[in-house]
């Protein structure tokens, strides 16, 4: 180690004692100088410091205190370094420690090059706090990126939160700060104390922490990196386009709570309760709202401060891995909501991390999100993009998640998203596309598909941006699936209309087919539709009393047969009256009474729809694209009737008829492609679902009467507000 003892020595010591010196390894620790090994340490409030031989524990030298604040110095006649310990005498105690300033650099030059150039896909294996053994000594390696800081220190219980005790080594060529602190252990609290270019002191939690305290506390917690999780063939297959995908969207904090205390269920308790429920209901996937650590419950996780730390609200990382593993054992895949578009302005978080706009764009026209009072990641920075893309890989690799649903993609790819003229910065070509954000998404999706080819990557993208589910090599974003927000908005708008007006909006239920195969779509009835005064899904339906339930059941029947994968938010499956409230559990009491229980009936319908969907390739075999769908009736607006056929590759088909008027239609004739006996395999108006069960005979014989461009047809009775699934049972010659 080089020596900086010179005419400025006293000035340097003064800076060290004030926490203003940015090159602590040049002054602290052992230094070979002219045949002597000189030791220098700064221990505020220490009475005495003694060097011990590590092997014999013999006292070798008592150091001189050369500064009243606790700077000690002394030297031994030595020509080489040796193993020693430091004995510190405090006012009322003694302490023997290893010297963190005797260790060399922690990052290689190649490491820093990879990180600075955004090419380290596993940046979380290097950055943050890692429990390691170095030179036979156990401790924690801390590395953080803060290129514009004047000094960075690790603070925690282990050093009385004094930033002067453990200042870090700056790697000036890269902006990384590093230190190995011996004898620290799992569970200890820490933060980074940062001296900014303006000489302000900031206290920041670790961007790469693997566990953080629960709000309102904000410290990071020393915790081991989880082990790599193995993805099975079943998991991989379940995400594919030619498989049935029915997603149950869940907010873990409000699905169910302890009834006596309203406390959250833990990850392990959710594994015992949520997983069996989802399996019983026939859902194939669970999508959980963001669980990255976040300070405000009301953000539902969509404003995370610690992307690498699963929230401790429900337990530790091992508990989350247990929850995911139990899901996999029950043939259920888990998708994580992932927020890479913005972050909150909490002072302990990423905002002005080193006193400058490091993680966010500097210009508020690029870096500030007016809708959510948050900050936007700087996608121009390779290091920030590396931080984010590594994080996406981290959740799949270290926890075993089967995919990510990326939140608010439109806000990332449009520079003028939710901004008025003059409030946004055009790209280099003068356009409104955030080119670097597009590149980031393409890179991240490419990375994940390279490492985990069958992972489900889902975009919540609300515009008609081209190629969301096309591969990047075809100028797409590289997602597997996109939420079909247009279908959701059109159909829910239609269902809220009084039936007398529906005939004037008949195309709202048919329009989506024009673009149904332009992307790989998921039909989303998400949490966003049942909050903030939008009313519950049941309350959105037209009518009063039983009619609301009948409309909802008919809508579900239409949705489960319509092209696209399925997603509904928790509580929608049993037609909860109230809007979703994140502060309490769902209204499970609605299911307690079994007699004529419309909520229980709706729940049973969703369960039956899930299993029928899963067992019927005609309803999910999207690999045939539009060939597996054809309209039968699109023009009966007076009766608000829609009919279409779903067909698999073996020409097995299901006829779906949805009737959205309150009139009972007798002797309704509809064309069918084959002669034979047909069976009504599902009727949303059935007694078991809370309906009136107006249909007595479920078998119907086709007749040689041409209708809807078919030679054969059926004569049916259509109950009010109902959807029928009809299947050919016996083919007649």
Q: Which is the catalytic residue, given 193, 206, 460, 608?
A: 460
Query: In the Cβ-directed half-sphere of 202, how many Cα atoms lie within 13 Å?
Result: 26
Domains of the chain: 9-102 (2.60.40.10), 109-221 (2.60.40.10), 625-731 (2.60.40.1180)
- Give the model confidence (pLDDT) of 383-398 as tens digits: 999 999 999 999 999 9
Average pLDDT over every residue of 26-40: 94
What's the chain's average pLDDT? 95
Quick one: which of 541, 718, 580, 696 has its CA closest to 641? 718
Average pLDDT over every residue of 518-542: 95
407 is catalytic: yes
pLDDT at 52 over 90: yes
Average pLDDT over every residue of 36-44: 95
The confidence band for 624, taking pLDDT boundaries of 50, 70 and 90, is low
Q: 306-310 and 333-338: which strand pairing?
A: unpaired
Quick one: which of 143, 170, 154 has its CA closest to 204? 154
Instruction: Please tell me the total number of residues recorded for the chain in this structure.
Output: 733
- Give the model confidence (pLDDT) of 264-313 as tens digits: 999 999 999 999 999 999 999 999 999 999 999 999 999 999 999 999 99
Average pLDDT over every residue of 249-270: 97
pLDDT at 6 over 60: no
The confidence band for 318, taking pLDDT boundaries of 50, 70 and 90, is very high
Predicted pLDDT at 4: 45
460 is catalytic: yes
- H or E element in which residue 458 lies: strand 456-459
- Give the model confidence (pLDDT) of 83-117 as tens digits: 999 999 999 899 999 999 999 999 999 999 999 99
Predicted pLDDT at 594: 77
693 or 604, higher pLDDT: 604
pLDDT at 2 over 50: no
Are 40 and 33 contacting, i.e. CB atoms less than 8 angstroms apart?
A: no
How many other CB atoms are there within 10 angstroms of residue 119's CB atom? 11
Spatial neighbors of 222 by CB under 8 A, at least 6 apart, are 129, 131, 140, 184, 185, 186, 187, 188, 189, 190
pLDDT at 603 over 60: yes
Q: Residue holding tokens 């149950």?
A: 248
Predicted pLDDT at 306: 97
Average pLDDT over every residue of 689-700: 81
Average pLDDT over every residue of 58-64: 96
pLDDT at 1 over 50: no
The confidence band for 733, taking pLDDT boundaries of 50, 70 and 90, is low
Q: How far is CA 471 from the centre of its chain?
A: 22
- H or E element in which residue 317 lies: helix 317-329
Are 617 and 648 contacting, i.e. CB atoms less than 8 angstroms apart?
A: yes
Q: Which is the catalytic residue, given 407, 519, 573, 622?
A: 407
Rounded to the nearest 5°, which phi and psi values hold at 154?
Answer: -90, 130
- Give the model confidence (pLDDT) of 638-648 as tens digits: 999 999 999 99
Average pLDDT over every residue of 311-330: 98
Average pLDDT over every residue of 469-485: 96
The confidence band for 75, taking pLDDT boundaries of 50, 70 and 90, is very high
Average pLDDT over every residue of 698-722: 94
């Amino acid at each position: 180690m080089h020596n900086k003892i010179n005419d400025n020595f006293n000035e340097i010591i003064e800076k060290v004692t004030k926490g203003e010196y940015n090159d602590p390894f040049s002054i602290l620790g052992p230094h070979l100088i002219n045949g002597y090994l000189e030791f220098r340490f700064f221990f505020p409030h220490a009475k005495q410091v003694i060097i011990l031989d590590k092997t014999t524990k013999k006292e070798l030298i008592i150091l001189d205190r050369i500064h009243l604040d606790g700077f000690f110095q002394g030297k031994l006649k030595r020509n080489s370094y040796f193993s020693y310990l430091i004995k510190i005498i405090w006012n009322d105690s003694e302490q023997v420690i290893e010297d963190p300033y005797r260790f060399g650099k922690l990052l290689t030059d190649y490491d820093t090059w990879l990180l600075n150039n955004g090419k380290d896909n596993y940046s979380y294996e290097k950055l943050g706090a890692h429990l390691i053994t170095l030179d036979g000594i156990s401790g924690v390696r801390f590395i953080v990126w803060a290129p514009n800081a004047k000094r960075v220190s690790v603070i925690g219980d282990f050093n009385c939160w004094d930033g002067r005790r453990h200042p870090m080594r700056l790697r000036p060529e890269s902006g990384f700060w590093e230190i190995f602190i011996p004898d620290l252990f799992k569970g200890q609290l820490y933060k980074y104390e940062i001296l900014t270019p303006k000489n302000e002191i900031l206290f920041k939690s670790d961007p790469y922490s693997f566990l953080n305290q629960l709000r309102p506390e904000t410290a990071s917690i020393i915790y081991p990196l989880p082990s790599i999780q193995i993805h099975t063939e079943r998991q991989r297959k379940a995400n594919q386009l030619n498989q049935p995908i029915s997603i149950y969207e869940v907010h873990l904090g409000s699905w169910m709570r302890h009834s006596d205390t309203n406390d959250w269920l833990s990850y392990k308790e959710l594994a015992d309760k949520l997983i069996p429920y989802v399996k019983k209901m026939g859902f194939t996937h669970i999508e959980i709202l963001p669980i990255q650590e976040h300070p405000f419950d009301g953000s539902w996780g969509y404003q995370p401060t610690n992307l690498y730390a699963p929230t401790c609200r429900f337990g530790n990382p091992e508990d989350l891995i247990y929850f995911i593993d139990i899901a996999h054992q029950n043939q259920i895949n888990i998708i994580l909501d992932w927020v890479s578009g913005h972050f909150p302005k909490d002072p302990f978080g990423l905002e002005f991390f080193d006193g400058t706009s490091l993680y966010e764009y500097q210009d508020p026209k690029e870096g500030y999100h007016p809708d959510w009072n948050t900050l936007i990641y700087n996608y121009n920075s390779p290091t920030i993009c590396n931080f984010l893309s590594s994080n996406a890989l981290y959740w799949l690799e270290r926890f075993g998640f089967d995919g990510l649903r990326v939140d608010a993609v439109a806000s990332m790819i449009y520079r003028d998203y939710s901004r008025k003229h003059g409030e946004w910065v055009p790209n280099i070509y003068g356009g409104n596309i955030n080119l670097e954000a597009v590149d980031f998404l393409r890179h991240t999706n490419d990375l994940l598909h390279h490492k985990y080819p069958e992972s489900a990557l889902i975009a919540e993208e609300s515009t008609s941006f081209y190629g969301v589910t096309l591969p990047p090599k075809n100028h797409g974003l590289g997602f597997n699936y996109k939420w079909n927000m247009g279908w959701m908005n059109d159909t829910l708008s239609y269902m809220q209309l009084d039936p007398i007006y529906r005939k004037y909006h008949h195309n709202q239920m048919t329009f989506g087919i024009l673009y149904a195969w332009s992307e790989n779509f998921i039909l989303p009835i998400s949490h966003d539709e049942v909050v903030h005064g939008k009313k519950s899904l049941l309350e959105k339906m037209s009518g009063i009393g039983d009619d609301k339930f009948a409309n909802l059941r008919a809508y579900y029947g239409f949705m489960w047969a319509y092209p696209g994968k399925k997603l509904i938010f928790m509580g929608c499956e049993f037609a909860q009256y109230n809007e979703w409230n994140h502060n309490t559990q769902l209204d499970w009491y609605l299911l307690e009474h079994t007699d004529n229980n419309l909520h229980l009936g709706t729940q049973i319908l969703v369960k039956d729809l899930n299993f029928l969907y899963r067992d019927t390739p005609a309803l999910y075999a999207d690999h045939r694209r539009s060939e597996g769908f054809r309209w039968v009736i699109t023009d009966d607006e007076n009766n608000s009737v829609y009919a279409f056929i779903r067909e698999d590759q073996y020409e097995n088909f299901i006829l779906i008829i949805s009737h959205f008027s309150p009139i009972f239609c007798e002797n309704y004739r509809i064309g069918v492609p084959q002669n034979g006996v047909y069976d009504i395999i599902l009727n949303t108006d059935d007694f078991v679902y809370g309906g009136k069960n107006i249909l007595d005979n479920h078998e119907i014989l086709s007749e040689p009467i041409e209708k809807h461009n078919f030679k054969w047809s059926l004569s049916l009775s259509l109950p009010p507000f109902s959807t029928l699934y009809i299947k050919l049972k016996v083919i007649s010659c």
